[in-house]
Amino acid sequence: MRPLENMEQKPGVTSGTSPALTDSELWGLFKKGDEAAFKTIYFKNYPLLYQYALNISKDEHVSDDVIQDMFSSLWHTRRNLGVAVSIKAYLLSSLRRRVLLKLKQIRRKQVLALELFTFNPDIEFSPEMVMIREEGDFFKRSIVKEALNQLSKRQKEVIYLRFYQDIPYKEVAKVMGINYQSVLNYCQAALQVLRNNEALLRAMSLDRYSE
């Protein structure tokens, strides 16, 4: 039985641990077998982990299964785990590898000749994911969504991790398995593409004039 199957999250409660704990302190408690710390890590990070896995796999069941397997493995191997400065970045990095491995296994079963270790996740932005000052302005969010989805796969993943998950550039590099300078290059190139998007510029100009 997986260690998460019997965990129930009560409304408004994530765990019994102190909210003032740093990532290092929380991770340390988890490694010692503190179930409250484990629950805190799980419930706090599950939504963003699920969204990230779904963006890569495009499959709800695969996304949830991989996350459950990952946390089960983390619990059983907790004593041998290293130090996690950023729990979110650590989990995203592990999840990325696991999802790609799962997809490779699925493709093999389907007899598709595809090397997924060189596969770049194609994150697709939706209007709901796009952050616009006016929540109800679906038109502007749609324009931003279209602009973001014109980026390359790597550019989209960098933008998603850096600005939507608020992960520092160095941690983004670890998650994606590339070097720090490559992350900066992808981000700079992505921002340049967005600056050159005429529809996006018009939408932002209309936004300024309406203030």
Domains of the chain from N-terminus onward: 23-118 (1.10.1740.10), 138-209 (1.10.10.10)
The pTM (predicted TM-score) of the whole model is 0.70
| pLDDT above 70 (res 178) | yes
pLDDT tens digits along 36-68: 999 999 999 999 999 999 999 999 999 999 999
74 confidence band (pLDDT: 50, 70, 90): very high
**Which residue is listed with tokens 């796969």?**
153
Q: Which pLDDT band holds residue 11 (cuts at 50, 70, 90)?
A: very low
